[in-house]
């Protein structure tokens, strides 16, 4: 049986800073626990301290939370948690004001020399540029706005027993957060339940090895780390600046005054020219003053300009000022003040061109730096889609089943499909007590598409399935295996079943039999496998994502050993 899904393109994410809100330490509503002990618990990864607090259940009870239903999520409860434990945001260095950019520009030695020359030549008559926004200042403000939007990542939280998407900024202490492969841990917390959960803590520790998170030895999750395998549920214990990531953020300054290669070369050039110009100007000043006071220079009538005491003080002052002005003119002419201006205008023009191509440039110098790049590596495509997938085709064995023909599937196969879809998944289905309301599906786009198809078209009751079966073992999905498996036990008759789900070409290799529409088990010989491969290749060529399901009932001799879910698995049907 094969399911194909429309495959949307992925949308890239951008990481940015946020603004934090001050935290109030103690709160009467949470008298059994305080923020400092929660933060220290996860930071030290102390199993003994967790046991002293009553384990995960004890921590959840102290936080007025529930490991299954989460927090109530009403405004009053969220407000209390914000007041007691803070919000899940991080402080950043204050944004530079306009005059900081002006001051940094005036640190250029060329600008300083030119300002001095202007002061000597024209006094205070030259006005400044005014309060018009500079390019870097405007770009910094636009980049901050973009940062706030891109950092607002949606996460899945359980509130009142219902999975719902909330902003990462709305997470409060006591929330139960759902984690899956690719997610970033949004806050510090403790694992409530999970399977094969591994995280990448390289951003915190520098170690590239993945860390296994489990309920017995290491249930602690640190904000800023990334889930690389498995899935789980975590109880939030610290948010915002109280987390390990928040402490690190407060100690790191994001501002760097490093200059680009072009700026360094221009500064070296203008400094050298400035030194030569000052030396020549000084020599000219000395020579002109010596000539004037020795009586060498003459006026237009041929008389000496300086005759000792006979020359009035006003004439001496005017002559000296003229000589100084001539020397200053040499400095002004020698320094290429137009070069920095021309470079700035060129970079500003490049920045405008890049903005037209939807490329945001925070600093003008980046245009020059990127101009030296020969190869740029990006991730997949940037095409925007609705990010919503749907089931478009369904194969049972080798037979294509149309949407209107689902009622022709045998009850036995339909029951196995309900088990494979409802229990071998990281998503969930929620339907309120109001019978008029529609279903709500959570999980990855692929999971939501399959759950929606099973619930609406195959009449799957996920809650009933979970009541009838106990999960014994889970093999989580990852990009290497391209499949996930679950071992379940029927509470009614005690039988054990194994279900697999994953890439169709991977699942088909595991199969020895398949079911037809009437529920008959048929052997999957070589010709049948080749036909299945052609079906899979045809759908893949149509840009469809092919997902297959497989099942096997475990015999009594194998029930004591759950390892057969890995190696000796021989399903009876494929979808």
Instruction: Tell me which residue of 201, 152, 135, 184 sits closest to 17, measured CA to CA.
Output: 152
Contact criterion met (CB below 8 Å) for 429 and 441: yes
DSSP element (H, E) containing 414:
helix 411-423
Task: Give the whole-angstrom CA distance, residue 45 versus residue 91.
Answer: 24
Residue with tokens 């202007």: 118
Work out the angle at residue 29's Cα, subtended by the Cα atoms of residues 27 and 30, and round it to the nearest 5 degrees: 70
Residues 6+ apart with CB under 8 A from 35: 23, 25, 84, 85, 86, 173, 238, 242
First to last CA, the chain: 2
Residue with tokens 């049972």: 396
Contact criterion met (CB below 8 Å) for 571 and 512: yes
Contact criterion met (CB below 8 Å) for 211 and 220: no
Task: Give the whole-angstrom CA distance, residue 515 versus residue 198.
Answer: 36
DSSP element (H, E) containing 82:
helix 75-85
Tokens describing residue 513: 């039999």
Phi, psi torsion values for 304, nearest 5 degrees: -65, 140
Task: Give the whole-angstrom CA distance, residue 502 versus residue 546.
Answer: 8
Task: Give the whole-angstrom CA distance, residue 153 versus residue 361.
Answer: 22
Task: Give the whole-angstrom CA distance, residue 97 versus residue 254.
Answer: 16
DSSP secondary-structure letter at 386?
Answer: -
Instruction: Tell me which residue of 45, 13, 18 sits closest to 250, measured CA to CA.
Output: 18
DSSP element (H, E) containing 547:
strand 544-554
Work out the angle at residue 227's Cα, subtended by the Cα atoms of residues 224 and 229, and round it to the nearest 5 degrees: 165
Q: How far is CA 177 from the centre of its chain?
A: 17
**Hey, which residues are catalytic here?**
379
Task: Give the whole-angstrom CA distance, residue 342 versus residue 170.
Answer: 47
């Amino acid at each position: 049986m094969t399911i194909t899904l429309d495959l949307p393109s992925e949308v890239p994410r951008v990481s940015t800073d946020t603004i934090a809100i001050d935290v109030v330490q103690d709160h009467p509503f949470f008298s059994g626990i305080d923020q400092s002990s929660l933060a220290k618990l996860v930071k030290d990864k102390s199993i003994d301290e967790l046991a002293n607090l009553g384990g995960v259940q004890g921590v959840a009870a102290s936080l007025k939370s529930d490991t299954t239903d989460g927090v109530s999520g009403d405004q009053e409860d969220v407000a209390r948690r914000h007041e007691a434990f803070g919000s899940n945001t991080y402080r950043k260095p204050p944004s530079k004001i306009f005059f900081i950019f002006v001051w940094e520009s005036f640190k250029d030695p060329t600008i300083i020399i030119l300002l001095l020359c202007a002061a000597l030549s024209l006094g205070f008559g030259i006005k400044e540029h005014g309060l018009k926004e500079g390019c870097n200042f405007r770009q910094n403000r636009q980049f901050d706005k973009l940062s706030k939007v891109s950092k607002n990542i949606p996460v899945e939280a359980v509130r009142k027993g219902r999975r719902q998407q909330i902003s990462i900024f709305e997470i409060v202490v006591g929330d139960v957060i759902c984690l899956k492969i690719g997610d970033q841990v949004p806050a510090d917390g403790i694992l409530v339940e999970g399977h094969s959960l591994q995280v990448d803590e390289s951003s915190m520790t520098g170690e590239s090895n993945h860390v296994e998170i489990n309920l017995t030895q290491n249930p602690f999750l640190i904000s800023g780390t990334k889930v690389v395998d498995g899935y789980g549920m975590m109880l939030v214990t610290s948010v915002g600046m109280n987390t390990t990531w928040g402490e690190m953020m407060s100690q790191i300054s994001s501002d760097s005054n490093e200059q680009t290669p072009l700026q360094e070369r221009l500064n070296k050039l203008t400094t050298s020219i400035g030194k030569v110009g000052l030396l020549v100007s000084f020599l000219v000043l000395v020579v002109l003053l010596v000539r004037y006071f020795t009586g060498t220079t003459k006026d237009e009538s041929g008389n000496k300009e300086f005759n000792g005491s006979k020359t009035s003080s006003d004439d001496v002052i005017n002559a000296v000022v003229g000589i100084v002005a001539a020397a200053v003119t040499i400095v002004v002419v020698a320094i290429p003040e137009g070069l920095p201006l021309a470079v700035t205008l060129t970079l500003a023009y490049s920045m405008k061109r890049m903005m037209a191509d939807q490329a945001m440039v925070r600093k003008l110098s980046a245009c020059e730096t990127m101009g030296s790049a020969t190869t740029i590596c990006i991730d997949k495509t940037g095409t925007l889609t609705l990010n919503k997938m749907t089931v478009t085709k369904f194969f049972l064995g080798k037979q294509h089943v149309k949407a209107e023909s689902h009622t022709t599937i045998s009850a036995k196969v339909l029951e196995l499909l309900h088990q494979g879809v409802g229990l071998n998944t990281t998503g969930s289905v929620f339907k309120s007590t109001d019978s008029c309301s529609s279903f709500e599906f959570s999980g990855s786009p692929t999971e939501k598409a399959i759950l929606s198809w099973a619930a609406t078209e195959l009449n799957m009751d996920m809650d009933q399935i979970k009541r009838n079966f106990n999960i014994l073992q889970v093999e989580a999905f990852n990009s290497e295996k391209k499949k996930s498996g679950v071992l379940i036990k029927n509470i009614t008759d005690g039988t054990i079943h194994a279900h697999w789900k994953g890439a169709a070409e991977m699942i088909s290799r595991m199969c020895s039999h398949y079911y037809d529409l009437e529920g008959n088990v048929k052997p999957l010989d070589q010709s049948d496998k080749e036909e299945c491969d052609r079906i899979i290749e045809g759908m893949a060529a149509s840009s469809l994502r092919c997902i297959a399901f497989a099942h096997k009932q475990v015999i009594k001799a194998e029930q004591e050993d759950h390892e057969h879910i890995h190696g000796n698995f021989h399903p009876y049907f494929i979808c």
